């Protein structure tokens, strides 16, 4: 089992460009979570899917950010018109559910730098 | 208001000593508390977790002590090793919400 796979590991974009980040969850896991990590804000929840359905996007910036999970094997996070403040490590986690609890396993992250 | 707080921000111990990392929370609906270990350039790795129905969880050198009344918990790392040097995050979630709320982390350095 390769764990959660995130691609690319590093991405540099110019201000105003689009960035698409990919996540492949652990096979058999039912949920995918996206988080953002910065020095200033720490680890912040963005959004998550369960059985491919969007469940909670309360952490997503209302503009420019969107996430999808078109099939059980991958999820994408898209940032339109990137801004320097979007620079962060974007972490994807997948989980299996035990009762009412999710045990989340994180990928290595995608380090996004917006110049 | 920060929902999950960790202290200290950084901690240095000698090899073989016990490191104690503290965490407190505000939301009384939180009932699941995982601790994650993160090395530079890597994603957080699940280390150990506890549910609020328990007051202690042990896994090898790692032990969580939980005080529901005071909304506090701590991670004890006994016989600390230089390889334990990392950032440790306390997180919390409530039933059926899925998402984790993280503290700001404690940077642990273990000197040989």
CB-CB under 8 Å, A109 with B43:
yes
Provide, as residue numbers in chain A, all residues whose Cβ is less than 8 Å from the Cβ of B43: 4, 6, 91, 93, 106-109
Could you say which residues from 54 to 83 on chain B have a Cβ atom under 8 Å away from some Cβ of chain A? none
Dig out the tokens for B73 from the structure. Answer: 């918990």
Length of chain A: 115
**Distance between CA A32 and CA B32 in Å, rounded?**
18
Which tokens is B51 given? Answer: 């549910």
Q: What is the mean pLDDT of residues B61-90?
A: 97
Check: CB of residue A114 under 8 Å from CB of residue A87: yes
CB contact under 8 A, B100 and A45: yes
Tokens standing for residue B17: 């000593």
Reported as a single tens digit per residue, the pLDDT across A22-57 is: 999 999 998 999 999 999 999 999 999 999 999 999
A1 near B CB under 8 A: no
Please indicate if any CB of chain B lies within 8 Å of the CB of A56.
yes
* A95 and chain B in contact, CB less than 8 A: yes
Which tens digits make up the pLDDT trace of B1-42?
A: 679 999 999 999 999 999 999 999 999 999 999 999 999 999
How far apart CA B55 and CA B68 sit, in angstroms, is: 8
The domains found in chain A, sorted by start residue, are 16-114 (2.60.40.10)
Structure tokens at B14: 């000698």
Largest distance between two CA atoms of chain B: 43
CB atoms A106 and B97 under 8 Å? no
| Chain-chain contact of B34 with A59 (C-beta, under 8 angstroms) | no
Distance of alpha carbon B19 from alpha carbon B11, whole angstroms: 8
Kindly state the tokens that stand for B92. Answer: 């919390």
When pLDDT is averaged across residues A51-71 and rounded to a whole number, the result is 94
Among the partner-chain residues B34, B49, B98, the one whose CB lies closest to the CB of A56 is: B98
Does domain B4-111 fall under CATH 2.60.40.10? My reply is: yes
């Amino acid at each position: 089992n390769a764990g959660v796979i995130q691609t690319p590991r590093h991405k540099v974009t110019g201000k105003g460009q689009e960035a698409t980040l990919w996540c492949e969850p652990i096979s058999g896991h039912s949920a995918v979570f996206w988080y953002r990590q910065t020095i200033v804000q720490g680890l912040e929840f963005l959004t998550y899917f369960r059985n491919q359905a969007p469940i909670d996007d309360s952490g997503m910036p209302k503009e420019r950010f969107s996430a999808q999970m078109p099939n059980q094997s991958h999820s994408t996070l898209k940032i339109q018109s990137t801004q320097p403040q979007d620079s962060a490590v974007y972490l994807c986690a997948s989980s299996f559910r035990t009762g009412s609890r999710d045990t989340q396993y994180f990928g290595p992250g995608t380090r996004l730098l917006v110049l | 208001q920060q929902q999950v707080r960790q202290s200290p921000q950084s901690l240095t111990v000698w090899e073989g000593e016990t490191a104690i990392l503290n965490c407190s929370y505000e939301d009384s609906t939180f009932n699941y508390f995982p601790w994650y270990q993160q090395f530079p350039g890597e994603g957080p790795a699940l280390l150990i977790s506890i549910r609020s129905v328990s007051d202690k969880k042990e896994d090898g050198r790692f032990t969580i002590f939980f005080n529901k009344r005071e909304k506090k918990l701590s991670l004890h790392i006994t016989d600390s090793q230089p390889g334990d040097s990392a950032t440790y995050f306390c997180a919390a979630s409530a039933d059926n919400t899925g998402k984790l709320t993280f503290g700001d982390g404690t940077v642990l350095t273990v000197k040989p």
